[in-house]
Chains A and B, each alone.
Chain A
C-alpha cells in the first residue's frame, strides 16, 4: 500500500539539508557572498563576493529550487538577484528589475517554484512582485486590488504551497495576506479578529501552512494565528515569557515545532515550542550570549538542526546547533562582515 506524503509538511531527517548560508557587508555594505554549509561542520568554501549595487543590504534569501539568490537594499533599484547553484555558487548579477521598486526594500522572498520574487518596501504599493526565471527579473505583476499599506511593508512571505502571499507592515492591521496564483495577487483575506499590537516587522508561515506568525513592535512582540484556506484563525494566547524587546524577525523551524523571534534587547533571540494549540515554554538562551540586537529574521537549516542569527555586533552572524534548544555554537564565518543584512540558509525544497 502506498502512502502519500506532502513533501512540504515534514522537517527533520529526510527533509533536505541546507547546503549554503548567505553573508553580506564584506568588504562593504553593498556586497554579498555565500558560504557552503554542512550541518555538524559549519562554514565551508566562500563564493565570489558580488556587488548588489543597492548600497545597504537589508535582506537576502535563497530561492527554493537551487538556482537563485535575492537581495533587498537601501538604494535604487532597491532589488537585486543572482544565479546561485551548488556547482557554481554565486554568479553574476541579473539585470535590474523594471520598473524599479518605489523605495527602500526590507525583505525579499521567492515563491516555491522560483517563478515569482516579492519585495517588501517603503512607498506605495509597498509590496512589488516580479515574474522570475533563468533570465532573471521578468514583468512586474499587477498590484493587488486592496493596497498592502500606504507607508511601508517590512516583511513579505509566500506560503510554501504557492497559494498565498503575506506582508507585515507599518499600519493597522499590521499584517495582510492575499491569495496568490500564476496570475498574481488575488483577493486579500479578511483581517484577523485580533490584530498584532503594532508595526509588523516580519511574517512567516509554518511549513505545513497551519500557522502564521508576525514579529512586531510593542508587547507581546510576537503574535501567531492558526492558518487555513479560510484565512486567519483565533490568535494564539501570548507566550508566557514574551520577547524582551520589539520583535524584528520571526521564523518557524521547518519541522514546525519551534518558533524563533529575533528582537532588540538581550538576549536578542527567543525561541518557543509552538503548535496550533499555542506557545510552549521558552527555550533557554544561547551560550555564549548574542552580541547586540537582532534585527532580522533568524533562519533554521533545512532539517531543523541549526539556527542562524543575524545581530548587530561582531561576529554579526552566529550559528548554533538546534536540537531542539540551543546547542553548541559553530565557529564564526571565516571573514567577519562589517554589516550582516540577514540570516538565510539555502535549502532546496
Chain B
C-alpha cells in the first residue's frame, strides 16, 4: 500500500503524463495545419511504405519534398489518434488516483 507522500508523487507523475499527451496532441494539430494532406493520384503508390528511408530512393526527385510532407502528415494524423488513445488510459488512472486522495 502506498503512503500519502508516495501517493502524491505517483499522482503528480500521472498528471505530468496526461499533460505530455495534451501537449503532443496540440503540437501535432498545429503541425498538421501547415502540411498538405491530399495525396495526388500519381503518388498514391508511395503511400504507406514499410520503410520510408528505403522508399524515398524510388520517389521522383521533384516530388521528394511533397511526399515527405504527405508521409509526415499521415504520421501526424496517426499520432494524434494514438496519443489520444494513450492519454485516455493515463487520464483514467489519474482520475482513480485523485479519487483515492479525496
Contact = CB atoms under 8 A, between A and B. Distances in A.
Q: Interface SS of chain A: helix, strand, loop or mixed? A: loop
A115 B49 CA distance: 13
Interface residues of B, number: 28
Contacts, number: 56
Q: Interface SS of chain B: helix, strand, loop or mixed? A: helix
B85 A145 contact: no
B42 interface: no
B65 to A, nearest CB: 15
Contacts of B78: 186
A191 interface: yes
Given A115-B51, A138-B53, A145-B27, A187 B93 contact: no
A238 B69 CA distance: 47
A131 B53 contact: yes
A188 to B, nearest CB: 7
Given A145-B27, A145-B28, A189 B86 contact: yes
A139 B57 CA distance: 13
A231 B86 contact: yes
B102 interface: no
Interface string A122-149: 0000000001010000110000011000
Interface of B: 9-10, 13-14, 17, 20-21, 24, 27-28, 49-54, 71, 75, 78-79, 82-83, 85-87, 89-90, 93
- Pick the 3 closest A-B CB pairs, nearest first: A187-B82, A182-B51, A190-B89
